[in-house]
Amino acid sequence: MEQYDVLVVGSGGAGQRAALEAARRDGLRVALITKIFPTRSATAMAQGGVNAALNNVAKEDSTEVHTFDTVKGSDYLGDQDAIEFFCQRCPEGVLEMDFMGTPFSRTDEGKIAQRNFGGQSYPRTCYSADKTGHVILHTTYEQCLKEGVHFLQEWYLLDIVVKDGKAGGAIIWNMKKGKVEIIKAKSIVLSTGGAGRVFWTRTTNPFLSTGDGMAVAFRAGVGLKDMEMIQFHPTGLGKTGILMSEAVRGEGGYLLNVEGERFMKKYAPNKMELASRDVVAKAIEDEIAAGRGFNGTGLDAYVVADLRHLGPEVIIEKLHGIRDLALCFEHCDPLTDPVPIRPTCHYIMGGIDVVDYKTCATEIPGIFASGEASCISIHGANRLGGNSLADGVVFGK
């Protein structure tokens, strides 16, 4: 029977960051179990960026403004103390990733580049073209290997063993061998991601996002919180629901209805396309319901994202991955054609109830949670784009 001091479940950004930090502590034996190869986790699909008030583009920005934007973006339902704690630590978290080798895009001065994102007062979203989650995941994976984290691939968490009121280990299905095994562990970190696949037909989430960790925690006696708070991203590709990153709007893309109108002027005249996700998603559905979408008002209806005015330089340099997705799944080229889009299930703000946001501890000693699997209540009823990767960077640590 394997025995570890720390067992991390989930190989996304939050899970790998937790494993890395634990492995850096002298004398701790750390393992990470994952259903798939670590760099294929859902974090790799996060395209747009990670928020931090670095002031590289907007000198007026600050952690206080980031805090206000996050509180407002949460529809004032987030834990404001936790949000303040989070926003104050985002700059340190992003700079740590930079020092570890994350290849962020750069300004002309060589600083980390930052772009506009919905619901934010200033450009504070640090990015690596449109593959930010991918490069963060590869960076943490390299560092975990360097620090000696034991990766147990194709292992599936079935249940947590709770003994004498605290974590004692985990029951695992070893998919390679086709048998159930037990791992002893003094501490278990659940970073298993979201459950977007419950919205089978339209979600940005991969097939592995099935809420495993939330279910396991609930069976072990840990509460779940805010599970009704589900975010629909405004720009999923029309046919599939695959994510078309918020970077599309951050770089200046337009949303148009069938009449060629930039309809966001009716719903958010100041922010326009850069309003928060819930506002933009509702506006799109309102336009479709009113008959101003393409292809009727049914499940196949859509509006379009128009990037043509951005020009080849911006699209090819900063949005090349998004262009590839549009070409593959919508058979249109953003250089010459508007791209069909419609809201799609993206993120669950709720999750495993974390009772101490500074340690990510749950109500059962020895069980911790971070990332989308957790509910630290920093997102409230609506998450700001760029705060998810930041969540993993800060609370994973």
- Average pLDDT (19-38) is 95
Residue 282 domain flag: yes
| Residue 83 belongs to some domain of the structure | yes
Q: What is the pTM of this model?
A: 0.91
* pLDDT tens per residue across span 100-121: 999 999 999 999 999 988 889 9
- List of E strands, the chain: 2-9, 30-34, 50-51, 114-115, 125-126, 150-153, 155-163, 166-174, 179-190, 224-225, 230-237, 254-256, 303-306, 339-348, 351-353, 367-369, 374-375
The answer to whether residue 1 scores a pLDDT higher than 80 is no
Whether 340 and 279 share a structural domain: yes
Out of 345, 363, 383, pick the residue that ends a domain.
Answer: 345
Q: Is residue 192 part of a domain?
A: no
Do 237 and 364 share a domain, yes or no? no
Question: Based on the domain organization, do 50 and 145 belong to the same domain?
Answer: yes
> Does residue 148 share a domain with residue 6?
yes
The string of pLDDT tens digits covering residues 279-312 is: 999 999 999 999 999 999 988 999 999 999 999 9
Q: How many CB atoms lie within 10 A of CB 28?
A: 15
What domain range is 282 assigned to? 230-345
Q: Which pLDDT belongs to residue 200?
A: 78
Q: Are residues 15 and 116 in the same domain?
A: yes
Q: Are residues 315 and 330 both part of a single domain?
A: yes
216: in domain: no
Tell me, what CATH number does 328's domain have? 3.90.700.10
pLDDT for residue 119 = 86
User: Residues 323, 368: one domain?
Assistant: no
33 and 139 together in one domain = yes
* Residue 45 pLDDT level (bands cut at 50, 70, 90): confident
Q: Are residues 46 and 133 in the same domain?
A: yes
Mean pLDDT of the chain: 94
Selection from 207, 242, 254, 247 nearest residue 329 by Cα: 242
Residue 196 belongs to a domain:
no
Of the candidates 89, 115, 277, 342, the residue annotated as catalytic is: 277
316 and 355 belong to one structural domain: no
Q: Is 148 part of any domain? A: yes
What is the total count of domains within the chain?
Answer: 2
25 is catalytic: no
What is the residue type of 367?
Answer: I
- The answer to whether residues 268 and 358 belong to one domain is no
The verdict on residue 209 lying in a domain is no
Q: Let me know if residue 104 belongs to a domain.
A: yes
188: left (phi over 0), alpha (psi -120 to 50) or beta: beta
Residue 215 phi, psi dihedral angles, 5° rounding: -65, -45
Residues 359 and 296 in one domain: no
pLDDT at residue number 73: 92
* pLDDT at 47 (0 to 100): 80
67: CATH: 3.50.50.60
